[in-house]
């Protein structure tokens, strides 16, 4: 922990909750990306809804990571997978 980290029981519980949520959402994003890839193979036009859901989850994770940073801990990072033409895979 850093010198500016918060050392209260409430902060510890919040960190645990946020870390768990980030982990679950990261798994969900991976599953959604797999589904998006499968949908792309079967459709002539990619479905935008899955991409929007993935973007929303990524934004939520970034917000949670910012809060974890405020609590004195860096959260896990997420990697955006992009293909040669900027498409997410």
16 occurs within a structural domain: yes
Six-digit token pair at 69? Answer: 């940073």
Q: According to the model, what pLDDT value does residue 58 have?
A: 96
Question: Does some domain include residue 86?
Answer: no
Residue 3 lies in a domain: no
Give the integer Cα–Cα distance in Å for 12 and 6.
8
Model confidence, pTM:
0.67
Mean pLDDT, 10 residues at a time, the chain of 89 residues: 65 93 96 88 69 94 93 61 46
Q: Which domain holds residue 30?
A: 9-70
89 within domain boundaries: no
Residue 47: its pLDDT value, please? 65
Q: Which of 19, 79, 75 is nearest to 54 (CA)?
A: 79
> How do residues 19-40 score in pLDDT, each as one tens digit?
999 999 999 999 999 998 887 7
Residue 55 maps to a domain:
yes
Domain count within the chain: 1
């Amino acid at each position: 922990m850093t010198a500016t980290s918060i050392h209260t029981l409430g902060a510890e519980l919040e960190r645990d909750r946020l870390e768990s949520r980030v982990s679950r959402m990261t798994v969900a994003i991976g599953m959604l990306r797999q589904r998006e890839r499968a949908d792309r193979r079967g459709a002539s036009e990619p479905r935008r809804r899955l991409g929007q859901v993935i973007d929303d989850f990524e934004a939520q994770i970034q917000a949670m990571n910012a809060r974890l940073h405020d609590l004195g801990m860096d959260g896990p990072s997420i990697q955006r997978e992009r293909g040669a033409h900027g498409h997410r895979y």
